[in-house]
Amino acid sequence: MDIQSLFSLEGRVALVTGGSRGIGKMFVEGLLAAGCSKVYISARKVDQMQETIDEFGADKVIGIPADLSQMDGVQTLADAMAQAEDKLDILINNAGAAWGQDYLEFNEAGWDRTMDLNVKGPFFLTQKLHNLLVAGGNSGHPAKVINVSSIDGQRINPWETYAYQASKAGVIQLTRRMAARLIRDNIIVTSIAPGAFASEMNKAAKHAPEASAAHIPSKRIGSPEDMAAAAIYLCSRAGDYVIGETLTVDGGVVNASIPDLFGDPAGGG
């Protein structure tokens, strides 16, 4: 058994949506370290995307601006990928949004944007990239799709983020259904459910990591290595027999603790 090749992503081409910062950027760093030849990233903010490209190198990271909460943005990204590549080995649907508002004031615009970006976007982007993924799956290994959900789709958090929690629970079930269909095309679909990682989505972990860590059984927030390792496992040969599963990466919050619903800042995503 060759452990090096078991976890290698040598020569593979990947796309990470929302790849310019936070958890998306952690995925990018891990994919490159594992051997991906090119990682495409999408984001709405071109300046943030360019910073990530500059950090890792334009020969390895290619940016495509896109707003994936809109169907024309999904189509634009899919068209750009089809023009640039004849196959896609890895797709990580990471772009997401959250919206917090009092129950009696929660508005439709926040609901729709969250659902469109978190649930509708991953489904239709994967659909529109189907031919590229099929081509990737014919290159000696299955193509991989990872939908990024959240522990907030597995438990109740203390904030009034109704659409976010519903959307992330939806992503987990959507992953199962997509996996059942796409495996026949040699495309493996899984999900990663992050816990507390420093990001714009999880400002508590970013700005008060010690307070967040106090509510996590492992007593720390997640590191870039934790998130990169989960993606490398699922995307490599090591994860080829894991289909439709959600890998929870949260230091034990969901499965090894009793959450304090009124004081727990260790949200996911």
Q: What is the DSSP string of 99-126?
A: ----TTT--HHHHHHHHIIIIIHHHHHH
Domain assignment present for 233:
yes
pLDDT of res. 212: 74
Domain assignment present for 258:
no
Ranges in the chain, pLDDT < 70 = 199-208, 258-267
In sequence order, which residues have a C-beta less than 8 Å from that of residue 120 and are 6 or more positions away? Answer: none
pLDDT of res. 268: 74
pLDDT of res. 215: 84
Do the beta carbons of residue 40 and residue 95 sit within 8 Å? no
The residues carrying an active-site annotation are 164
Total domains in the fold of the chain? 1
User: Could you tell me the CATH number of the domain that includes residue 227?
Assistant: 3.40.50.720
In sequence order, which residues have a C-beta less than 8 Å from that of residue 7 and are 6 or more positions away? Answer: 34, 232, 233, 236, 237, 238
pLDDT of res. 129: 98
Q: What is the pTM of this model?
A: 0.94
Classify residue 103 by burial, with Cβ atoms within 10 Å: 0-12, 13-18, 19+: exposed
pLDDT of res. 259: 52
pLDDT of res. 75: 98
Domain assignment present for 267:
no
pLDDT of res. 258: 65
Domain assignment present for 114:
yes
Q: Which domain, by its residues, includes 194?
A: 3-249
pLDDT of res. 140: 86
Return the number of other C-beta atoms located less than 10 Å from residue 6's C-beta: 13
